[in-house]
Amino acid sequence: MTYVTFPVAKALDFVAIGRLCIDLNANEIHRPMEETMTFTKYVGGSPANITIGMSRLGMKTAFIGKIANDQMGRFIASYLECNAIDTSNVVTDRTGAVTGLAFTEIKSPTDCSILMYRDNVADLKLTPDEVQESLIADAKVLLISGTALAQSPSREAVFQALNYAKKHGAVIVFDLDYRPYTWTSPEETAVYYNLAAEKCDIILGTREEFDMMEKFEHNPERDDHITAAKWFDYSAKIVIIKHGKDGSIAYTPDGVGHRAKSFPAKVVKTFGAGDSYAAGFIYGVMQGWTLEKSMEYGSAAACIVISSHSCSDAMPTASQVDEYIERCNRGEITAS
């Protein structure tokens, strides 16, 4: 059964809009940040990570965003280009804004956190007139990510991108990607998340992220069916609710909850799971696979990333995902 039909004859498979940042991942793991002395620098930001994932899987990709006019901004642009991502709509800020930094703390495979430095960041300065309509017109999929809705003018830039995607028939994916810093109140967050979600074909988020969106709803049992059903009255065809290592469920307008098996992983850190899962899942549905197979692919891609030190740099190729699934099926990989 096909739930989403992707446009054909478009030059680009996938375009994402939103944040481009730097991850500084602790080298000395299994200790608190206070005792961490060195970090390794990677490109970060959830939509950037997903785009890198899509590109590694062989898709033609582009990014719409804003980088600081500094060494970090140039590092990001060059990393995207090395990963075959079209950066023609990656704009350089001219106001003195800085690159967002995410310092990661890896205390244990289950206890990880991120310390964000995001004052005056370039990615939130993207303006609606900087979003190129032609790029979105050329794309099969537009992915938006919630953090870009946190402030103006980036918020308006995302809504403008949504208008272009609707006009040109791109499938719109919303990764909720809720990060509390940068938002001023839970009410503001819920209002803008809901306004954006109404326009989207595929919505992906964790149970906690959907809880945040339901600030004005009545769902005391936090029932996934109730959460998903609301969106089928708007544009949604697939709503995925993720439950960490317990896996994920994809709901469809016919009332079915599709589940896929998850895989074992030797977990180094938890973050990055959602981004690699999104890349693997979107890649799968774009191949015309069933939701179950696409989710399985996303789960395996997630396992590869959480077993690695980075998020972006660890995004797997298709042959790495295939090999991971085969090794799991042969019982060669067990959970940590």
Q: How would you label 283-317 residue by residue, b for 16+ Cβ within 10 Å and e otherwise?
A: bbbbeeebbeebbbbbbbbbbbbbbbbbbbbbbbe
Q: Which residues pair with 141 in a beta bridge?
A: 14, 171
- What is residue 108's three-state secondary structure? coil
Q: Which does 23 bind (CB under 5 to 8 A by kind): ligand ATP, ligand LN3RO5KU, none?
A: ligand LN3RO5KU
Give the list of residues 6+ apart from residue 69 with CB closer than 8 angstroms, or none.
92, 93, 94, 96
If you search the block for the tokens 């602790």, which residue do you land on? 26
Residue of 274, 280, 298, 316 that binds ligand LN3RO5KU (CB under 6 A): 274
45 binds ligand LN3RO5KU (CB under 6 A): yes
Q: Which does 299 bind (CB under 5 to 8 A by kind): ligand ATP, ligand LN3RO5KU, none?
A: ligand ATP
Q: Which residues pair with 203 in a beta bridge?
A: 174, 239
Query: Can you tell me the distance from the alpha carbon of 247 to that of 249, in angstroms, rounded to the nearest whole number?
Result: 7
Residue of 18, 44, 73, 284 that binds ligand LN3RO5KU (CB under 6 A): 44
51 binds ligand ATP (CB under 6 A): no
267 binds ligand ATP (CB under 6 A): yes
Binding positions for ligand ATP, 268-327, rule CB under 6 A:
270-275, 277, 299, 302-303, 306
Peptide bond into 153 cis (omega under 30): yes
The answer to whether the CB of 182 falls within 8 A of the CB of 118 is yes
278 vs 291, which CB is nearer to ligand LN3RO5KU? Answer: 278
86 binds ligand LN3RO5KU (CB under 6 A): no
Give the list of residues 6+ apart from residue 56 with CB closer than 8 angstroms, or none.
83, 279, 315, 316, 317
Q: What is the largest CA-CA distance in the chain?
A: 55
Residue of 101, 265, 304, 314 that binds ligand ATP (CB under 6 A): 265
Report the Cα 129 to chain-centroid distance in Å: 24
Stretch that binds ligand ATP, among 54-62, 99-107, 116-124, 245-253 (CB under 6 A): 245-253
Query: Can you tell me the distance from the alpha carbon of 176 to that of 196, in angstroms, rounded to the nearest whole number?
Result: 10
Q: Which does 277 bind (CB under 5 to 8 A by kind): ligand LN3RO5KU, ligand ATP, none?
A: ligand ATP
Q: Which does 302 bind (CB under 5 to 8 A by kind): ligand ATP, ligand LN3RO5KU, none?
A: ligand ATP
In angstroms, give the least distance from the CB of 96 to ligand ATP. 30
Binding positions for ligand LN3RO5KU, 126-185, rule CB under 6 A:
none
214 binds ligand LN3RO5KU (CB under 6 A): no
Binding positions for ligand ATP, rule: CB under 6 A: 206, 242-245, 247-248, 262, 265, 267, 270-275, 277, 299, 302-303, 306
